[in-house]
Structure 1
Amino acid sequence: MGFKTGRVCLGAIASLAFAAPAVPQSHQASAPRAAVHAPPVVDTDIARFWTAFDAIQAAAPADRLKLIQTLYIDAGTPGLHALMAARRYTPQEYVDAIAKWPKFWASVRPLTARSRAATTTLNGDVERFRRLYPRLRPATITYAIGVLRTGGTTVGDKVLIGAELGLGDESVDVSELPEPLRTRLATFFRSRPFANNAQNNIHEYVHTQQQETDGTLLQQSLREGVAELVAELITGRKPALPVYSYGPTHEAAIKARFVTEMGNDHYDNWLWNSAANPFGVSDLGYFVGYRIAQRYYDAARDKKAAIRTLIELPYNDPTAIRAFTDRTGYFLGA
């Protein structure tokens, strides 16, 4: 599940005492001989970030912006640059974050060395994806350090994983973060995103195959829900997030409210949000989209054709998406 938070502010110096183990270089995970279409995985930006981080700790304040720019950003991969553009990260944000949240960085640093371990199932998962969806187009996967606004997103054929979030677990110290980010990330890290990384990688990989949209709540939710369903079919897991325990027991109320808002382009109650919404649970739009997609898939006789239909829906066409949703009957009686 793509994790998106609001812009945050940052400052206080992190200690040099928490040096991490060496971070793996760019790699492609070991593959069985049959997995000839494995996507390239790039993680060299992680090591560059910690080099810049250590240099910034030892530098005068006036030199820190130049260090993050030259050691991390200018030397970074196309994936890092795409991630920064997608989430509008700035060099100043990195400098401020390094200064402001020492406990966060101390706790997350050793975890970011797990990018190689995070992709051990990737080749097999992609091959299963290809069997389900033979039209699968190639994509790259980049792990890079961001400033806490995404654990996963996509730009074109690039899957972009925010390693400071996507490789985390319940050991990450969020005590310095401002609210509501602190509470949201505490919930997120308790879901053990590293353990769920296989699902996250495939969820984002699905997005590289879908049409993008900046349309209505329904369009966005269905696009996310399809990625959730396909990732579950391939990996056999859902994210361990409250949305998937809360949703089934409150589905009637969720549907009733969703139908009143699904034609809007305001997502605050449903997507990439904090729990400060009428239900007190984040990202219920994912659940609604997942249930629409699941209803269509379960009713289909030809499952492979159903997957193709779901992935290739015209997500940027509100009329077509509404008509498809109506055909599933998901909102009947809501």
Structure 2
Amino acid sequence: MRTSGLTVALCSLVLFSGCAEDRGRPQIASHAVQSPVVDSDIGRFWQAFDAINATSDPAERLRLIQTVYIDRGTPGLPALMAARRYTAQQYVDAIDKWPKFWASVRPLTTRSQQAVGTLNGDVARFRRLYPDLRPATITYAIGVLRTGGTTVGNQVLIGAELALGDETVDVSELPEPLRTRLGTFFKSRPFENNAQNNIHEYVHTQQQETEGSLAQQALREGVAELVAELITGRKPALPVYSYGPANEAVIKVRFMAEMAGDDYANWLWNSASNPFGVSDVGYFVGYRIAQKYYDAAYDKRRAVKTLIELPYNDPAAIRAFVDRTGYLQGRR
């Protein structure tokens, strides 16, 4: 984790509240404002992009991305750059090496306001499901193709060059395995999934962070997937969600063998060059563990609270929770 006419309203804020009445997709009251969606970094990127392409001087190109885009960025931009270790030079190199990619994605990045069209209602539903919901800001900014969405503290940071894309994006210039991975990603029409992506990342702002085992990371991601689905009614249209149910027994065996380790290469944030032949199978496993717990719970709101507030940075506690669900052992 998304416009009609960003040239007119680049600095506009989409404000949302936490109370509404249910009538299909609820209309949200204009008071009780929480947090803004900010998309003004997108326009500044394209200003820098055009200026960079008007000069061949390497030092001037670096100065332009720094002064026009980075130095003038909203608070979310440096957070995004730090989270994905983006540098000014990486931006300049990407602009120089992938002109077809940028030409194809540029018109799509004007859709950020369309991408948050359901956000007011989704956040209100989230608060009703989880009354302890804390506010978060959402920033759409241009990155260097390493995240469609991440979080830092209470900031949801959406890579607009990925999250606003679709099957028309030209990935032919990208190096492997990025070309194949993003080709699959864009064919899933991520722009149409921004409602789910925004809430998935919003869930992460409510969770404890972790750099722990595969089990810890997979469950954290899976809980965000489940809660986002409960709120938006959507799963990402990615191969893992058709591959997973058809191969669940094999997936479980391998996950049990690797879950205590901290090597995510086969499971998370990866290409399809892994034993499964599809990306991000860890998301599916975490989702199914969370779903197993939620489905068995009598009090669904309490179950959501438990899932969101799990001590994700405690490996023993997470292992005990996973075992308690019985998912990996195949218990009903």
Fold similarity call, TM over 0.5: yes
- For the residue of structure 1 that corresponds to 2:35, the secondary structure is coil
Question: Is the Cα–Cα contact under 8 Å of residues 200 and 228 in structure 2 kept in the other structure?
Answer: yes
Aligned-partner Cα distance in 2 for 1:23–1:159: 24
Amino acid at match of 1:53: F
Quickly say closer, same or farther: Cα 1:179–1:278, change in 2 above 3 A: same
| TM-fit CA distance, 1:280 | 0.4
Aligned-partner Cα distance in 1 for 2:329–2:75: 46
Aligned-partner Cα distance in 2 for 1:301–1:35: 33
Amino acid at match of 1:332: Q
Q: Is 2:97 the partner of 1:112?
A: no
| TM-fit CA distance, 1:61 | 2.0
1:87-109, Cα deviation, whole Å (9 max, x unpaired) = 00000000010010010000000
Q: 2:303 aligns with which of 302, 306, 316?
A: 306
Question: Is the Cα–Cα contact under 8 Å of residues 188 and 241 in structure 1 kept in the other structure?
Answer: yes
Aligned-partner Cα distance in 2 for 1:319–1:93: 39
- For the residue of structure 2 that corresponds to 1:39, the secondary structure is strand
Aligned-partner Cα distance in 1 for 2:148–2:173: 19
Q: Is 2:21 the partner of 1:36?
A: no
Aligned-partner Cα distance in 2 for 1:60–1:74: 21
Aligned-partner Cα distance in 1 for 2:45–2:259: 40
Q: Is 2:172 the partner of 1:175?
A: yes
Question: Is the Cα–Cα contact under 8 Å of residues 166 and 194 in structure 1 kept in the other structure?
Answer: yes
Higher deviation after alignment, 56-65 or 248-257: 56-65
Quickly say closer, same or farther: Cα 1:21–1:119, change in 2 above 3 A: closer
Q: 1:131 aligns with which of 121, 125, 128?
A: 128
Q: 1:55 aligns with which of 51, 57, 62?
A: 51
Moved over 2 A (4+): 20-24, 26-32, 34-39
Q: Is 2:179 the partner of 1:194?
A: no
Aligned-partner Cα distance in 2 for 1:229–1:161: 19
Question: Is the Cα–Cα contact under 8 Å of residues 166 and 186 in structure 2 kept in the other structure?
Answer: yes
Quickly say closer, same or farther: Cα 1:258–1:221, change in 2 above 3 A: same
Quickly say closer, same or farther: Cα 1:84–1:258, change in 2 above 3 A: same
Match of 2:151 in 1: 154
- For the residue of structure 1 that corresponds to 2:157, the secondary structure is strand
Q: Give the fraction of aligned pairs with identical amino acids, expressed as a percent.
A: 76
Question: Is the Cα–Cα contact under 8 Å of residues 166 and 188 in structure 2 kept in the other structure?
Answer: yes
Aligned-partner Cα distance in 2 for 1:60–1:266: 42
| TM-fit CA distance, 1:23 | 6.8
Amino acid at match of 1:245: S
1:42-70, Cα deviation, whole Å (9 max, x unpaired) = 00000000000000011232310000000
Q: 1:67 aligns with which of 64, 67, 70?
A: 64
Match of 1:217 in 2: 214
| TM-fit CA distance, 1:122 | 0.3
Amino acid at match of 1:194: F
| TM-fit CA distance, 1:29 | 2.9
Q: 1:327 aligns with which of 320, 324, 327?
A: 324
Quickly say closer, same or farther: Cα 1:300–1:194, change in 2 above 3 A: same
Gaps of 5+ in 1: 2-19
Match of 2:181 in 1: 184
Question: Is the Cα–Cα contact under 8 Å of residues 14 and 38 in structure 2 kept in the other structure?
Answer: no
Gaps of 5+ in 2: 17-27
Match of 1:98 in 2: 95
Match of 1:79 in 2: 76
Amino acid at match of 2:274: N
Question: Is the Cα–Cα contact under 8 Å of residues 208 and 311 in structure 2 kept in the other structure?
Answer: yes
Question: Is the Cα–Cα contact under 8 Å of residues 21 and 110 in structure 1 kept in the other structure?
Answer: no
Amino acid at match of 1:39: S
- For the residue of structure 1 that corresponds to 2:298, the secondary structure is coil
Amino acid at match of 1:65: L
Match of 2:252 in 1: 255
Quickly say closer, same or farther: Cα 1:283–1:324, change in 2 above 3 A: same
RMSD of the TM alignment (CA)? 1.5
